[in-house]
């Protein structure tokens, strides 16, 4: 395949590195700035730039290069960036793959919905989600991920084309569940970090069980399959989010509780705002999400909020 990868941060640089090694022709685009300059020098902190990758700062060139366009940027920047894409080139025949996890904070819309709002056809949109850290992948440690879309033929085509011994791709069949589950696990990652930072790590077990359950209720209310919360997109991603030293969201939670600065992207912070909005819209109780929101946006005491969550009235587990 001829594939354009838009974004040259952590995931964008890995995706280009991964796909070129598995036989695809790759053009990687980045906006002028620190991440782009690092790659122009030949490497960043995660990967070395493969000589087979066409690295460019020309968005029009990148969009015209690939039949498949993979986007990996900050979720909250997607709407403005997609408008820029549509204004830059004719992309009506392109396939778009979103390798990013989030929900638009101001609207509560899933990222595939944002693309549709900007004029991209829904049958040409797929998402790439699931567990895995770049630091482990580049050391040759395998994992499993998911491709999902409304277009099941597109799911099969992309998963088969991207599959390797390093990443086994599964066919998704619940776009709502895959997108919400993938985004929501970052909120749970922040919660896990806050528990670690507050010396309450023993509550990460209940967090895993109860967090997946509240997300499953939201997915069901939105029209998805509640069992998706227990698949790779959400619960399957917990190890890399709630426990891994490489998790930005967990690290953010730890440092937030300890009042230490954090200078990397933690998508779960904006996603907590979006999920609170969705919980209210669909009438779904999201106690862990609401606790994270109250801590981040209402200046509530972290440990007091979590104590409230885990001391709610006794009831059946599910």
For the CA atoms of 251, 253, 255, 256, the dihedral, rounded to the nearest 10 degrees, stands at 150
Question: How confident is residue 312, by pLDDT bands cut at 50, 70 and 90?
Answer: confident
For the stretch 79-124, pLDDT in tens is 999 999 999 999 999 999 999 999 999 999 999 999 999 999 999 9
Measured on CA atoms in the order 72, 73, 75, 78, is the torsion positive or negative? negative
244: tokens are: 């891994």
78: tokens are: 């997607």
List the Cα angle 285/289/293 in 5-degree steps.
120
| Partners of 98 in beta bridges | 71, 127
Nearest CA among 29, 33, 34 for reference residue 12: 29
Amino acid 272: pLDDT: 98
29: tokens are: 């685009």
Q: Is 168 helix (H, G, I), strand (E, B) or coil?
A: strand
**Which H or E run includes 5?**
strand 2-6
Question: How confident is residue 310, by pLDDT bands cut at 50, 70 and 90?
Answer: confident
The contacts of residue 236 (CB under 8 Å, 6+ apart) are: 130, 131, 144
List 94, 101, 124, 185, catalytic entry: 185
For the stretch 45-55, pLDDT in tens is 889 999 999 99
For the structural domain made of 181-309, what CATH number should be given?
A: 1.10.1040.10
283: left (phi over 0), alpha (psi -120 to 50) or beta: left
For the stretch 130-184, pLDDT in tens is 999 999 999 999 999 999 999 999 999 999 999 999 999 999 999 999 999 999 9
Q: Is 170 helix (H, G, I), strand (E, B) or coil?
A: strand
| Partners of 28 in beta bridges | 5, 55
For the stretch 271-302, pLDDT in tens is 999 999 999 999 999 999 999 999 999 999 99
For the stretch 169-187, pLDDT in tens is 999 999 999 999 999 999 9
For the stretch 10-31, pLDDT in tens is 999 999 999 999 999 999 999 9
| Partners of 149 in beta bridges | 126
Answer yes or no: is pLDDT of 318 > 60.
Answer: no
Answer yes or no: is pLDDT of 313 > 90.
Answer: no
Amino acid 316: pLDDT: 57
Domain limits, the chain: 2-171, 181-309
- Domain boundaries 2-171, CATH class: alpha beta
Is 34 a residue of the active site? no
């Amino acid at each position: 395949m001829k594939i354009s990868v838009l974004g040259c941060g952590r995931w964008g640089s890995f995706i280009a590195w991964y796909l070129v090694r598995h036989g695809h022709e790759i053009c990687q685009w980045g906006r002028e700035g620190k991440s782009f300059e690092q790659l122009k020098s030949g490497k960043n902190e995660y990967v070395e730039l493969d000589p087979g990758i066409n690295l460019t700062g020309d968005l029009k060139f990148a969009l015209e290069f690939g039949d498949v366009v993979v986007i990996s940027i900050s979720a909250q920047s997607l709407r403005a960036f997609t408008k820029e894409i549509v204004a830059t080139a004719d992309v009506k025949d392109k396939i778009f793959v979103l390798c990013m996890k989030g929900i638009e904070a101001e609207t509560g819309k899933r990222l595939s919905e944002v693309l549709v709002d900007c004029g991209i056809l829904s049958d040409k949109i797929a998402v790439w989600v699931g567990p895995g850290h770049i630091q482990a992948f580049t050391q040759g440690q395998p994992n499993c991920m998911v491709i999902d879309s409304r277009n099941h033929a597109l799911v099969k085509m992309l998963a088969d084309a991207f599959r390797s011994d390093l990443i086994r791709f599964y066919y998704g069949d619940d776009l709502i569940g895959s997108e919400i589950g993938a985004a929501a696990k970052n909120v749970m990652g922040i919660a896990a970090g806050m528990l670690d930072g507050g010396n309450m790590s023993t509550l990460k077990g209940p967090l895993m069980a109860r967090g997946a359950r509240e997300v499953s209720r939201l997915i069901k209310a939105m029209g998805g399959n509640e069992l998706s919360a227990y698949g790779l997109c959400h619960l399957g991603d917990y190890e890399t989010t709630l426990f891994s030293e490489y998790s930005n969201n967990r690290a953010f939670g730890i440092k937030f509780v300890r009042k230490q600065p954090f200078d990397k992207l933690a998508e779960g912070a904006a996603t907590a705002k979006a999920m609170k909005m969705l919980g209210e819209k669909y009438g779904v109780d999201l106690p862990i999400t609401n606790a994270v929101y109250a801590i981040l946006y209402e200046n509530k005491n972290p440990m007091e909020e979590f104590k409230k969550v885990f001391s709610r009235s006794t009831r059946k587990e599910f």
